[in-house]
Every structure is written in structure tokens, then in C-alpha cells.
Amino acid sequence: MSMITERPVSNSAGQPPVRTTVETSAVTRRDVRAVVSAYVTLTKPRIVELLLVTTVPAMMLADGGMPSLWLVAVVLVGGSLAAGAASVINCYIDRDIDQLMRRTKRRPLPAHTVTPRNALIFGLVLAAVSVAMMAAFTNLLAAGLTLAAIVYYDVVYTLWLKRTTTANTFWGGACGAAPVLIGWAAVTGTLAPAAWALFAVVFFWQMPHFYPLAMKYKDDYARAGIPMLPVVASTRRVNAEIIGFAWLTVASSLAVWPLGMSLIYGVPAVVVGAIFVVEAHKLARRVARGQAVKPMRLFHWSTTYLTILFAAVALDALI
């Protein structure tokens, strides 16, 4: 049977052209892809990358080697669903300010690609599935930490801290560091000092990581009325905090060393930590000299720093 492939033509009554079977099928596929893409965008996949970078090495260190692939898969899938759920609900709550910011106005809710009701339902379903998965296949501590991270991010941070205090990034840092504790708890059912030390690394790291981004987009945050530190404080004050938290990040990473780690971890921790601190100081010097600030250089390097550091954790645990 041959397909109908003629071009659409107007009928004698001057009515609009009728779509062919091929065209209708193509439009349907594009619509489905657009909808699926919109829902995936709501989950903020780049945030899930942080989960992958920190969780698996923490699990390996907790296990003293490589945990079962089944457990790793469960934690990664459950954790990814939890991170996605928190991000979707965050997008639902922040839809009023997202439409005011150039960086976020193309997100699915401000762009009206997804309705707020559907986004909320999607986020709640992801949250329920993630917590249920962690409870069923890991343990109650890991499941409880997963639920707590979602609630803290969306209720405490997004609804309250983000809109009311300049310390929002600091207090919100607990959410980004939670995957370390969740991964450790999934393996052992407890939280050892090394788990808390790794938690501290990611917690303190988020200020020198996020403040440069907030510096670049401070006009956006100001337009939306969000009191991010770069919006309400001087650049000198912001740089002072970046330097301070960079040093705390490196100090926390070195505190992990005596907790069962070897030179395989220690040497990379010292090297990349030194580069991280130097980059933070360079940003401050550029501001002091009146040069172009270029905050995204530190932003991108901070991601590289965390990746290398946790790769060293994984390698040390294996060897």
C-alpha cells in the first residue's frame, strides 16, 4: 500500500490545506519529543551530574572497594529521581521569578510548555517513587535522608531561605552535599566520620562554586528580588567569602586523608586544592585591580576540582 505524500492543497471552498498522513505523523513525533524534552528539562539534568560525581566514590569508600552493582544502580536511579523531583518542585515554586530572569525565562513553566499542575504532579510522583525505591532496596536511613533532602530543598530553601536571606546559598548547601551521606548510608546503614568529612567538602565547595555564577547573573537575581549575596553586597565582600569557603573546602578535603585514605587520595587533594585556592585569590586580585572579573573561570574550575577530588576518593578505595 502506498503512502499519501501529496502536498496539502486548498479545496474549492477556500478552506485551509489538509495535512497529509506523513505530515501529521511527523508533527505528532515532534510534539511528543518536545513534551518529553520539557519534562526532562524540569529535572535539571546537570544537577544530577553532581550526584554521579560524589555519590559513587562515597559508596566505594564506605564499602572499602566496589559495592554490588545492583546497589550502585539502585542508589543512582533513586538518587537521580530524588534530585529530579526536588528540581521539578523547585521549578513549580519559582515559576513566578523564573519568568523575570533571562537565564530562566525559557524554562518549561515560564514558557508555558508544561502547566504548573502537571509539573507539580510530576515532581511529587518522582519524589514518592525515589523514596519508596530507597526504602525498599537500601535501608530506612538512606530513604529518610533522601526524603529529608527533597523537603529541605523545596520547603526550607526554595520557599523560605532563597527569598529572605543573603545566606541562602550557605544554608542551601546541605541539599547538594546530601548525596554523599545518602550513598554512604545505603552501603553501611550508618554515617561514619569520613562520610561527614566528605559532606563538609561538598557543603563548603558550593559557595566558591555558586557565587561566581551569581556574580555573572546578579542583574537577573536583582530583577527577581532574590537577595543573593552578589546582589546585596560589594564584590569585595563576595570575594572574601569565596576565598574563605575555598580554604574551608580544601581543609575539609584534607581532613578526609587520615580517615583511612592513602597518598593516592592525599596527593591529588593537595594539588587540586592548591589550584582551587589560587584561582579564588586570582578572582579577588582582578577585582582589586579593577580588571575584568571573569567569575565563570572559577565556576568552571570548581567543577573540575570536585570531579578530580572524588575520582581520587574512588581510586583510593579501589586500590
Task: Mean pLDDT check: name the lowest of 140-144, 187-191, 199-203, 224-228.
Answer: 224-228
Percent of the chain with pLDDT over 70: 91
Q: What is the per-residue pLDDT for 131?
A: 98
CATH number of the domain encompassing residue 268: 1.20.120.1780
Query: Could you tell me the residue range of the domain that residue 96 belongs to?
Result: 34-168
Q: Which residues of 225-239 are buried (b: 16+ CB within 10 A; e: fewer)?
A: ebbbbbbeeebeebb
Q: Is the pLDDT of residue 211 over 60?
A: yes
Residue 116, domain member (yes or no): yes
User: Are 160 and 210 in the same domain?
Assistant: no
Q: Is the pLDDT of residue 70 over 90?
A: yes
Q: Is the pLDDT of residue 195 over 90?
A: yes
Q: What is the per-residue pLDDT for 52?
A: 80
User: Are 163 and 233 in the same domain?
Assistant: no
Q: Report residue 96's pLDDT band, with 50, 70 and 90 as the boundaries.
A: very high
Q: What is the per-residue pLDDT for 24?
A: 58
Residue 173, domain member (yes or no): no
Residue 236, domain member (yes or no): yes
User: Are 205 and 268 in the same domain?
Assistant: yes
pLDDT digit string, tens, across residues 123-172? 999 999 999 999 999 999 999 999 999 999 999 999 999 999 999 999 99
Q: Report residue 49's pLDDT band, with 50, 70 and 90 as the boundaries.
A: confident
Choose among 35, 113, 48: nearest CA to 84: 48
CA angle 24, 28, 33 (to 5 degrees): 150
Q: Which of 11-20, 40-49, 243-252, 295-304 has the highest mean pLDDT?
A: 243-252
CA–CA distance, 47 with 137 (Å, rounded to integer): 24
Q: What is the per-residue pLDDT for 29?
A: 67
Mean pLDDT for 265-283 is 96
User: Are 230 and 111 in the same domain?
Assistant: no
Percent of the chain with pLDDT over 90: 72
User: Are 143 and 208 in the same domain?
Assistant: no
Q: What is the pTM of this model?
A: 0.87
Residue 25, domain member (yes or no): no
Residue 182, domain member (yes or no): no
State the total domains in the chain. 2
Choose among 96, 86, 163, 168: nearest CA to 130: 86
pLDDT digit string, tens, across residues 112-124? 999 999 999 999 9
**Average model confidence (pLDDT) for the chain?**
89
* Long-range Cβ contacts of 100-104 (<8 Å, 24+ apart): 100/220, 100/223, 100/224, 101/217, 101/220, 101/221, 101/223, 101/224, 102/217, 102/220, 103/217, 103/220, 104/220
Q: What is the per-residue pLDDT for 95?
A: 94
User: Are 163 and 200 in the same domain?
Assistant: no
User: Are 50 and 157 in the same domain?
Assistant: yes
Q: What is the per-residue pLDDT for 4?
A: 38
Q: Which of 11-15, 236-240, 275-279 has the highest mean pLDDT?
A: 275-279
User: Are 77 and 200 in the same domain?
Assistant: no
User: Are 133 and 249 in the same domain?
Assistant: no
User: Are 161 and 287 in the same domain?
Assistant: no
Residue 63, domain member (yes or no): yes
User: Are 146 and 240 in the same domain?
Assistant: no
CATH number of the domain encompassing residue 84: 1.10.357
Which tops the pLDDT comparison, 113 or 3? 113
Q: Which residues of 140-157 are buried (b: 16+ CB within 10 A; e: fewer)?
A: ebbbebbbbbbebbbebb
Residue 178, domain member (yes or no): no
Q: Report residue 46's pLDDT band, with 50, 70 and 90 as the boundaries.
A: confident
User: Are 138 and 256 in the same domain?
Assistant: no
Q: Report residue 19's pLDDT band, with 50, 70 and 90 as the boundaries.
A: low
Using DSSP's 3-state secondary structure scheme, residue 224 falls into helix
Residue 185, domain member (yes or no): no
CA–CA distance, 220 with 105 (Å, rounded to integer): 10
Residue 233: which region, alpha, beta or left (left: phi > 0; alpha: psi -120 to 50)? beta
